Amino acid sequence: MLVLLWVALTVAFATETDVFQTAPPEGWVDLAGIDGVVLDVRYHTSDNFTGAPLPGYGAAGAWLRATPAQALERVQRRLAAQGKALKVYDAYRPLRGTLAMVAWAERTGNVALLDQGYIARRSGHNRGHTVDLSIVDATTGVELGMGTPWDTLTSASHTRAATGEALANRLLLKEVMEAEGWKPYWKEWWHFTFPAEGDPPARDVPYGCSEPAEGKWTAPADWSRPGWIPPASPPPAPCAAG
Which active-site residues does the annotation give? 188
| Terminal C-alpha separation, the chain | 38
Q: Are the CB atoms for 123 and 98 separated by under 8 Å?
A: yes
Single-letter amino acid, residue 97: G
Which residue stretches of 24-143 are H helix?
Answer: 66-80, 95-107, 111-115
Q: Helices then strands (H, E): number in the chain?
A: 5, 7
Give the separation between CA 19 and CA 15, rounded to whole angstroms.
Answer: 6
Give the separation between CA 136 and CA 143, rounded to whole angstroms.
Answer: 4
Other beta carbons within 10 angstroms of residue 17's beta carbon come to 19
Sign of the CA dihedral running 130, 133, 138, 144: positive
Give backbone dihedrals phi and psi of 85, rounded to 5 degrees, phi first: -150, 160
**Any idea of the CA torsion for 132, 24, 181, 83, to the nearest 10 degrees?**
60
